[in-house]
Structure formats: structure tokens, C-alpha cells
Chain A
Amino acid sequence: MAGLTYTVFDTTDLSTAEVYGRTLKELGNKHQEVVGLSADLAKSTKIGVFAEAHPDRFFNMGIAEQNLFGVAAGMAKAGLIPFVSTFAIFTSMRGLDQVHTDICYQNANVKMIATHAGVSFGQAGSTHHCTEDLSIMRAMANCTVIVPADGMETANAVVAAYEKEGPVYIRINRGFDQKVFQNADYGFEIGKGIQMTDGTDITIIGCGSTVYQAIQAASILDQVDGIKARVINMHTIKPVDKEMILKALHETRRIVTVEDHNIIGGLGSAVSEVISESGKACAFMRLGIPDEFSVIGLHEDLMAHYQIDANGIVDNVRELMGRDFEEDEDWEDEV
């Protein structure tokens, strides 16, 4: 890492987006080619900190996301490293044609920091919930997709994105995230999952805000049920850490994914692709937003509603533990 100066104290006091803004400001202090862009969301996305420090390197494009991403592509082609901040829904959908053609297709060195992801902007309603972006962005060739678990990991991800050539999509939440990491030097590396707890009974794979919930769930399962759950923080959705998934598959034979995203196309799909190509049997369950437009409410209430909080994970793990997946007598056409 490039000499980050964050402490637990900073990340406890700051929302995840504020950590991003400060990290970008630091990057901008060191690197003249870093520029910031937003579309009338400089304050909401907290890139305003960078804008104040580097007014000559910040460009507000107004409420015009197509232009926003096209301009970023042009800047990257001329040697700058643009960090573009707007809501996830506007990055992955409103400006997607430009993200696809101008940024990903051309492998432009643009970093997309997508805030207010999942159902974290809960009370804003479904027009501002973003539960499809991982599916969409994962399908973009050349694009790296990262979902940091908390502020500390966001700082690490932003620095790693700077150091990695090519398009990077970083998805963060609105507001504060529960703290997962105490120090920055836990070994963040793009494409490498972080094993948060040991366990051989089952593996819970989360990303973003669900990592903290998964760790809490593992603790309850251990104390109440004696179930030893391995928790993996799969902060990089693409490229996903196949090795870590296969190891968990081999050693636990039961896997649950949990994400603040539609169960179609995101973390659960990425993990299931690895499992299904492995040829190994596995009891598997995806937790997330079912195939529907999410309801309105506070983020924590919505996480409970969709069973992606600690209690929801515990309930589903218990159910999965009860399944006998190795000898399914009902499978009549089994050969």
C-alpha cells in the first residue's frame, strides 16, 4: 500500500464514503494525474473533500452521467487517472453505455466509485436502490469489481485501484458501515478473498456490509449451535478468488453466500459458477434480495427483511446444515 495514514479512530468517525474522499485527497496530494469527477453529487459521494483540496483537478459535470463517463474516458486516454463518483445506480445503469463502450471496451484507466449501493439508500426507494450493479459490472470485460467491507477496506481498495491499470468499479454504501478491520495492513489484495474466521462445518461468503453480519452470525452459530462456520470476505467479485472458494468447498462442503444485491448475477452467482464448474457436490444457498424490486426502509431494517443480517444468516445456515445433500433419495432420474 502507498503509505496510508488511516487509523481505526478515523474510520470509526467517518462514513465509508468520507474515508473514500479523504483517501482520494491523499492520492491527489501525491499524484498529479489523479482527477475527480462527479455529476452534482460531490457532497453526497464525499468527493467534495478532494474537490476542495484540488479545485483544478475536479470537474462537476452536472446531472449528466453519459457525459460524465465519456469525459472520464477521454481524460484517461490523455494520461490522467479519473476517479468518478456518483451513485451506483447511475454508474451501472444511467451511464452504462459510456461505461461499457468508452471505459471498459477501451480498457480506459478510469476508477468508478459507486456509492449508495444495494439497499443502503433504503428510504429513497427502489429508484435509488441498486441491487443489479454487480451483475451488470461483472459482465463488463476488462472491469475489476470490488465491494469493500468497511471504511478501512475502502481506503485500501481505492489505493489498490489507483495502482491497478484499467477500469475498476468500487461499490460502497451510503452512511456508516460496521467496522470489520482494525488496521489497514491486513493484506488487502485485489482478487484475493480474506478468511475472517476458521471453520469446517460451513462457509459463509459475504461482501460489503454483509461481511460484518456474517462474522456476527458465525459467532452466534458457534456459541448456540456449536457450528463452526468459516467466514470469507470476498471483497473482489471479479476476478473472484476461485482458489479460496474451492478450498472452502473441499473443506466444508456447505456454502452460503450473502450479499446486499439481487441473488441473480452478483456474489452468489460468481461463487456458484466456480462450484458448478468444479464437478464437486455441495450444499449451496444464496442469500440476497430475491428477484424483486426492494421495499422501502432503513438499511438495517431492509437487511433484516431480506435475511442478510446476522439473524437471517443464522436461520438459513441452520436450515442448510439440516439438509442431507449427499444421499438424495428423491432424485428419481439419478444415474
Chain B
Amino acid sequence: MGLQAQELLMLEKKAHELRELCVDTVVWAGSGHIGGALSAMDIFTILYHKYMSVDPKNPNWEDRDRFILSKGHVGVGFAPVLADKGFFSKEDLKEYNHFGSNLGMHLDSRKVVGLDASTGSLGHGLPIALGTALAARVRNKTYMTYCLLGDGECDEGAVWEAAMAIAHYNVTNLVTFVDRNGLMMDGATEDVMSLEPFKDKWEAFGFHVIEVEGHDFNQLADAIDYAHDHHEKPVVIIARTVKGCGIDFIENNYRWHYGGLDSEKIKLSKESLLRHYNKRVEGV
């Protein structure tokens, strides 16, 4: 179907702003998981600015849609999304990682308004998401749960325990995303611990698998719409992404899984993000 041009432009603009805010937050924090934050940013953006029903004025609203950030190490990219959405002040981002701040490397739901779960230890998010989704079933609620996994995170056995149970209970009010950027701490996922044939694994576990370009809002929207409309099987969206997406010297370099930016690199980052944005909106 595809998005209307106006909506697409809105999402592109928002994603660009959030990428810039992520870079600023990395600078304020001193360092952060910038690579995985930027690969996931378009997924954050489309969920929080097109699909999810949340109310920053009533963050614990029972009927809100849930988002479980299983790849919890990218807090430095996700906190800006929540702040920008209005759950807390963007000024708070300036205190990121500072002594006594509510915002730290792995975000804590008891401290961060709008955050649905404390994550960071990998492999935990999908079971929690399954819990919130099953709770909707028990409580006759219609909210959706979305969960974002990192691809390296899929080495964890708990991911597959949850996958098995999601399929067993045919939990279709949960949409699972995998940020398939292909890189983890020590190198390429296929060098450290092979995931392929990744799609086949999910299918074998009972999922309907949709592979998309993870920075293409049209493809992401089509996949999410499909998940909303089909309930024969749970859906996993494997989003092929670029680690560090938008900053040329960071892109696709596993050494930028985590890092800090000096003044020269901040300048280069902002220039690269602008080029990236202009290219994406060209011709829309």
C-alpha cells in the first residue's frame, strides 16, 4: 500500500530529529551504544509516531500499547524517543549517565517514565513482552505489545523459549521485530555465532516471517499492517538495518557498537546525518 507522501515526510523528519537527539545524548552521556541505537531508530520512529497508542500525560494508562526494548543497551537512542514524545523533559537527557540521573546506559522502568520494562540483560525482553501480551488476553484488553530484539541477542536461549511459547499460544497481539544489522560486540553475527538461516529458524518455530529493509518506512508499515490484520500465526519482522545508520564513518563498523564523540566527530556526525536525511527525502 505504501504511506502517503506527507506521512512519509513526517516520519523521515522525525527520524532525522531523533537521530540528531541521539547524537546529542551520546555526547551528554560521554559515550553510548550509538551503532545499535541508530540502526533501530526508524523502528522506534514508526512505532511511536504512527502505530502506538500511548499517552505521555497518563503514562501508566492500562490500555496503552506496550513497547519492550529487548536490546536494552541502546537506551541512549530510545530515551530521546520517549523524551521527544513528551514522557519527560528533553532537558533530562543532558544528565544522561550523570551521577544521580534517572537515565543510565540500560534504562530502568522504575525511573524512566514511559518505559515499559527494565532491560539490558539480553534475551529477557521477548518473554516479558509475551507476558504483557498474555495479560491483555486474560484481562480482555485490546492493546498491542511490540518487542524489539537485537540480532546478536538471538544467541540467547530465552529468546527461543519465548518464541516457542508465542507460537504455542498463538499470541498475535504481539509483534516481534529483529534489528538485523548483522553486527555484535565482537564482530559480524555470522563470524561470532551464526544465525543464518535466520528466517527459517523463526518459521520453524511457528512464525510468519516478514523481511523488510529496516530503514524503509513503507516496508515497515506494510509489515506492521500485515501483523495487525492476520491472526493465524504470530509475526516476526526481520528488519535488515545498517548499524550506525546515518553517520557514514560509523555505519557498518562493529567497533562503533559503543563509542563516544569528540568535537570533530560531532560535527562530522551532524553533517552526515543531514546528508542522509536529504537523500532519503529526495523525490518523495
Give A contacts to B, CB under 8 Å. Answer: 33, 35, 56-57, 59, 61-62, 64, 66-80, 82, 97-98, 101-102, 105-107
Contact = CB atoms under 8 A, between A and B. Distances in A.
A72 B131 contact: yes
Q: Is the interface of A mostly helix, strand, loop or mixed?
A: helix
A244 B162 CA distance: 45
Contacts of A61: 161, 165
A57 B135 CA distance: 9
B255 interface: no
Contacts of A75: 131-132, 134-135, 138
Which 4 residue pairs across A and B have the least CB separation, nearest first?
Answer: A74-B131, A70-B127, A78-B135, A67-B161
Interface of B is mostly: helix
B237 interface: no
A70 B124 contact: yes
Contacts of A82: 131
A64 B159 CA distance: 11
Contact of A77 (B121, B132, B168): B132
Interface string B131-147: 11111101101000000
Contacts of B38: none
Nearest to B163: A67
Nearest to A76: B131
Interface in B50-66: 62, 66
A74 B165 contact: no
Contacts of B121: 97, 101
A101 B123 CA distance: 11
A59 B169 contact: yes
B124 A71 contact: no
| Chain A CB within 10 A, most for which of B116, B120, B135 | B135
Interface in B104-124: 108-110, 116-118, 120-121, 123-124
B161 A66 contact: yes
A70 B162 CA distance: 9
B64 to A, nearest CB: 10
B164 A70 contact: no
Given A77-B117, A79-B62, A106-B117, A70 B158 contact: yes
A101 B124 contact: yes
A73 B66 CA distance: 14
B79 interface: no
A98 B141 CA distance: 25
Interface in B151-179: 157-158, 161-162, 164-165, 168-169
Nearest to A142: B110
B127 A71 contact: yes
Contacts of B221: none
Contact of B164 (A57, A62, A73): A62
Contact of A106 (B62, B109, B141, B165): B109
B18 interface: no
B138 A57 contact: yes
A59 B136 CA distance: 14
Nearest to A65: B161
Contacts of A76: 131
B37 interface: no
A59 B162 CA distance: 13
Contacts of B110: 106-107
Interface in B31-87: 62, 66, 68
A73 B128 contact: yes
